[in-house]
Structure 1
Amino acid sequence: MREIGVMGGNRYFGKRLIARLLAAGDHVTVINRGSSAPPAGAVHLVADRNDGNSLEKALGSRTFDVVVDQVCYSPRQAEIARRVFAGRTRRYVMTSTVEVYEYEDSADLVREDAVDPHAVPVDLELPWDEPEFLEDHYGEGKRQAEAVFAADPAFPYAAVRVAHVLGGDDDFTGRLQHYAERIRTGEAIAVPPVNRPATYIHVEEIADFLFWAAGEDFTGPVNAASHGPLTTRELCEAIAAHFPDGKTLLRPVEAGEVSPFSFGRSYGMDNSRATLLGFTFGDARAWLPRAVAETLGSDRP
């Protein structure tokens, strides 16, 4: 039986990961602020991860085979985690994001070495504790968090760069519903003049990937994305299948806010490293209709 610590992870693909760990017979300890209890069978520790003393007090003498950190958004949080979990875990898996590549504009699928965490400067003095700043600098926060673990690793670590996640009846983002409402009513959908594709991953697939990653020994960044980038038009076509009387109207805009999953630059990730390491990805076009049906749920006619 493995001892697994999960930081956060009580919703969306995090709760699916916990369910997989428990089903595999692992002893799971969930660490969060106490806003929601973990699934039955997991130990619950209440702590503020932004406060090293709070985290150390909650952990006590516990040690882990693996820690999966679902909620590390800044270098400050990474620095605290690196210090607190040094000597407490044999492996650390951080959930990162495709947004680390926000400045890598390429028509080709982007490989991990496009953003080397060893080369990313870290600034702990930025206002990372301010929610608005953190939200506006999501990709930068993740880049610098990766850099903290890479610069002086206190344990073997991996950073899973997650593609945009779709599917499930508990998608709290409302992004597909944004399209569904506009298609249903015939309202225009704002997109960039040049609208680039992106890679995606199903909510169940990323839970599978994180479960798999927890049991492997590779280190460093790894991209997690299904095969086959999708365009905004393809997303709309899958949604429109549920609204036969609706209308898809994509309206290019030169300035201002565009719809979610509409990108002026490519967000395509190369998944060959994970594939060579042994994980088998699905094809996004194969699971997209199911993901849309799951997410729209009662919104469908």
Structure 2
Amino acid sequence: MQRICVIGGSRYFGKLLVERLQAAGHQVTVINRGSARPPRGVEHLVVDRDDESALRAALGSRTFDAVVDQVCYTPVQAAIAARAFGGRTRRYVMTSTIEVYDPATAALPDVPTGTLVPEESVDPRAWHVAMDLPWHDAAYLEAHYAEGKRQAEAVLTRDGGFAFTAVRSAHVLGGGRQEFTGRLTYYTERIARGDGIAVHAEPLPTVFIHHGELADLLLWAATATDVTGPVNACSDGPLDVRDLAAIVAARTGREPVYETVAAGGTASPFSFDRHYAMSNARATDLGFAFSRTTDWLPGAVAEALAAAPAALAAATSHPASAAPTA
């Protein structure tokens, strides 16, 4: 049994992580602002993690074997965490993102198209940190999400005083209504209704991970003593937007209607004109076994359809659009 703290943990794969840590016999503490209560038997500290003095007061004399930070978006938040948890935990795991590799948001080493991007393409040990940027401004943070994550990784790598792992998550899907970004629902609804889907002329592949698999990987990263540094988290098998739409089409019985956008135009959520699909080779070599995207994605599509509004359910219930059971 380990004593593990989860910062966030109130929804989606964070909530699932808390449940799986508890089921595995670990002693779990959840820190959040009180938006949702954790399961019975999980300690709950209600505090704003951005308020350093309040965070320290809430922590008191507690120590942990590991901390899993689900809601660290900026170097300022990372610096607070480094000071508050330095000396009170041996391991710190931060949920990061595939977006750290997006060449549209930073000058990054060139990775040839078709080559899966490895962790060393973004080295947090060398990444520049700028604390004086307007990280507290919501609009600025939204526009600089990837850079905020890169700089947060850099701070925790260099200043934490603990073994640190950045789990760089692929696009997370599954869970029906729990998938709060609505990106998979976007495709299921539009294809079921016969609406057009905006795509690039030659869309490039990306990578995905099921929310349950990401929860498992975070548990593994928190409890495996030999896992440090950046770790890419994605299921096997990159897909482009047309591959994804074909899986949705198989469930709805309706062919996708594509609308090609001009170069530089705005396309649908998973159509990309730039290359940054991740490699999961490092996590695999360290002992984590990934599923294949095509094994779980049809089920995730079915969940999205089941959670759809009644009007959409009616649109997909016509005999000509009956979904296969496979």
Question: Which TM bucket (shorter chain)?
Answer: over 0.9
Question: In the alignment, which residue of structure 2 is the partner of 1:54?
Answer: 54
Question: In the alignment, which residue of structure 1 is the partner of 2:147?
Answer: 140
Q: Which amino acid aligns with 2:204?
A: R
Mapped partners of 1:171, 1:264: distance in 2: 24
Of 280, 293, 302, which residue of structure 2 is paired with 1:293?
302
Question: In the alignment, which residue of structure 1 is the partner of 2:237?
Answer: 228
Higher mean alpha-carbon deviation, 184-193 vs 121-130, is at 184-193
Structure 1 stretches of at least 4 aligned residues deviating more than 4 Å after TM superposition: none
Q: Which amino acid aligns with 1:221?
A: P
- Whether 1:149 and 2:170 are equivalent positions in the alignment is no
Mapped partners of 1:229, 1:9: distance in 2: 28
CA shift, 1:269, in A, is 0.8
Q: Which amino acid aligns with 1:198?
A: T
CA shift, 1:163, in A, is 0.6
Q: Which amino acid aligns with 1:195?
A: P
Mapped partners of 1:296, 1:106: distance in 2: 36
Task: Give unmatched runs, 5+ long, in structure 2.
Answer: 317-326
Task: Output aligned runs, 1:21-40, within 5 Å.
Answer: 21-40=21-40
Mapped partners of 1:142, 1:207: distance in 2: 19
CA shift, 1:243, in A, is 2.1
Deviations 1:125-150 (A, max 9, x none): 11111111111111100000001012
CA shift, 1:154, in A, is 1.2
Higher mean alpha-carbon deviation, 116-125 vs 149-158, is at 149-158
- 1:84 is paired with a residue of what secondary structure? helix
Of 228, 250, 254, which residue of structure 2 is paired with 1:219?
228
Give the aligned CA root-mean-square deviation in angstroms. Answer: 1.3
Task: Output aligned runs, 1:152-301, within 5 Å.
Answer: 152-169=159-176, 170-217=178-225, 218-244=227-253, 246-254=254-262, 255-299=264-308, 300=313, 301=316
Deviations 1:4-24 (A, max 9, x none): 100001111111111110001
Deviations 1:233-255 (A, max 9, x none): 111111122322x3411212124
In 1, are the aligned partners of 2:188 and 2:301 still within 8 Å (CA)? no
Deviations 1:188-207 (A, max 9, x none): 11122331110111111111
Question: In the alignment, which residue of structure 2 is the partner of 1:78?
Answer: 78
Mapped partners of 1:140, 1:9: distance in 2: 23
Mapped partners of 1:229, 1:80: distance in 2: 36
- 1:230 is paired with a residue of what secondary structure? coil
Mapped partners of 2:272, 2:248: distance in 1: 18
In 1, are the aligned partners of 2:125 and 2:158 still within 8 Å (CA)? yes
Mapped partners of 1:296, 1:61: distance in 2: 47
Q: Which amino acid aligns with 1:120?
A: W
Task: Give unmatched runs, 5+ long, in structure 1.
Answer: none
CA shift, 1:40, in A, is 1.8
Higher mean alpha-carbon deviation, 289-298 vs 143-152, is at 289-298
